[in-house]
C-alpha cells in the first residue's frame, strides 16, 4: 500500500523525533497528545532541530519550511484514526498503550496499519487486543530519532507480509536501516544494551567503582561514545527499569534482575536528564556524579 498520511500518538522525546524525520521524508504528519503544551513544545523543538540542520547544510531552508508545513497537531485521538500508518509513541507502560489502541479502533480505516514504538513490550500481545493483528507491528526508533540510523521492525505472530513490506518501505524512504527482530522481550538492541547498563549499576551498587570511574572505563577502555550510566540518564532510568522488568518477567532468568540501586533511583524520582538528577546531577553548569 502507498503510505502518505502518518499519525503519531505522543509528542514527547520519541514522538517529536519521529514527526521530524517523517515530515522531512515527505509524509503528512498528524501529531497527537493529550497535552496542548506538549504539542506546542514538540513543534517548537522540531523547528529548532531543523534550523540546526539548516545551519549545518544538512537540509535547505526550503526543505525545512515544506517539512514544517506537513506537520499538524491534535488533542483528539480520533482525528488520527484515518491515517495510513499510526505509530504509538506513548510512555513505556503496557496498560497506557492498550488504552490508546482501544480508543483508536472505532476510528480506523480498514487499511490502517497500527504500530508501536515500544522498546520492549510484546507486539503479539498488543496486537491481540486490536481488530487487525495482521496489520500490527513494532516500529522501534532509536533516540535521538533524527540522528540514529537504525529502526527495529518487529513482527508479531500474526503480522502479514504486506504490512512488513509497507513499513520497510517507510524506513527506506527515511534513509534509515531496518533491522528485523523477532517478538521476544526487548527485541535486539535493548536485549543487549539494558543488561549492560544494569550491570554497570550493579558495579556501582557493589562499590567496584564510582560513577565517574565506571563511565570513564567504558569510554576509554571499550571505546564507547558515552558511558553506561551517562547513557542510562539520557534514556531515562524509569525506562531502563521498565525494560529490565520486561526482560526479567518475560525470560524468567535471574541474570535480568534489575539492580536494587536502579529501583531506588526511580523511587526517588531521579530519572536522569529529564528530571535534572540521575547518576549525574544536571542542575549546574557541569554534570556532577551523584555517587
Catalytic residues: 119, 140, 152, 190
How far apart are alpha carbons 246 and 170 in whole angstroms? 28
Locus of grid cell 486490536: 130
- Nearest of 221, 243, 217, 244 to residue 230 by alpha carbon: 217
- Phi/psi region, residue 34 (left: phi>0; alpha: psi -120 to 50; beta: rest), is alpha
List Cβ neighbours of 181 (8 Å cut-off, separation of 6 or more).
138, 140, 152, 153, 154, 187, 188
Whether 287 contacts 221, CB under 8 Å: no
Burial code of 142-160, b = ≥16 C-beta within 10 A, e = fewer?
bbebbeeeebbbbbbeebe
Neighbour count for residue 181 (Cβ, 10 Å): 18
Three-class secondary structure of residue 55 per DSSP? helix
Amino acid at each position: 500500500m502507498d503510505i502518505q498520511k502518518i499519525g503519531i500518538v505522543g509528542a514527547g522525546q520519541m514522538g517529536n523525533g519521529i514527526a521530524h524525520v517523517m515530515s522531512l521524508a515527505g509524509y503528512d504528519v498528524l501529531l497527537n497528545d493529550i497535552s496542548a503544551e506538549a504539542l506546542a513544545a514538540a513543534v517548537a523543538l522540531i523547528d529548532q532541530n531543523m534550523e540546526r540542520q539548516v545551519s549545518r547544510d544538512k537540509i535547505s531552508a526550503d526543505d525545512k519550511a515544506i517539512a514544517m508545513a506537513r506537520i499538524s497537531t491534535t488533542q483528539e485521538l480520533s482525528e488520527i484514526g484515518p491515517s495510513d500508518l499510526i505509530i504509538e509513541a506513548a510512555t513505556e507502560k503496557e496498560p497506557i498503550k492498550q488504552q490508546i489502541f482501544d480508543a483508536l479502533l472505532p476510528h480506523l480505516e480498514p487499511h490502517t496499519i497500527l504500530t508501536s514504538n515500544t522498546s520492549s513490550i510484546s507486539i503479539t500481545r498488543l496486537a491481540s487486543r486490536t481488530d487487525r493483528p495482521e496489520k500490527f507491528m513494532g516500529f522501534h526508533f532509536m533516540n535521538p530519532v533524527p540522528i540514529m540510523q537504525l529502526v527495529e521492525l518487529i513482527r508479531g505472530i500474526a503480522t502479514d507480509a504486506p504490512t512488513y513490506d509497507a513499513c520497510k518501505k517507510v524506513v527506506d524512504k527515511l534513509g534509515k536501516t531496518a533491522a528485523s527482530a523477532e517478538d521476544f522481550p526487548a527485541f535486539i538492541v535493548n536485549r543487549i544494551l539494558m543488561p549492560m547498563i544494569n550491570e554497570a549499576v550493579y558495579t556501582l551498587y557493589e562499590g567496584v567503582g564510582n560513577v565517574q570511574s565506571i563511565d570513564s572505563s567504558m569510554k576509554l577502555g571499550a571505546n564507547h561514545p558515552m558511558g553506561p550510566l551517562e547513557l542510562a540518564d539520557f534514556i531515562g532510568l524509569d525506562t531502563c527499569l521498565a525494560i529490565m522488568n520486561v526482560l526479567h518477567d518475560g525470560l524468567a532468568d535471574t541474570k535480568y534482575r534489575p539492580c536494587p540501586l536502579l529501583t531506588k533511583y526511580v523511587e526517588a524520582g531521579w530519572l536522569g536528564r529529564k528530571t535534572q538528577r540521575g547518576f549525574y546531577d544536571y542542575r549546574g553548569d557541569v554534570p556532577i556524579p551523584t555517587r
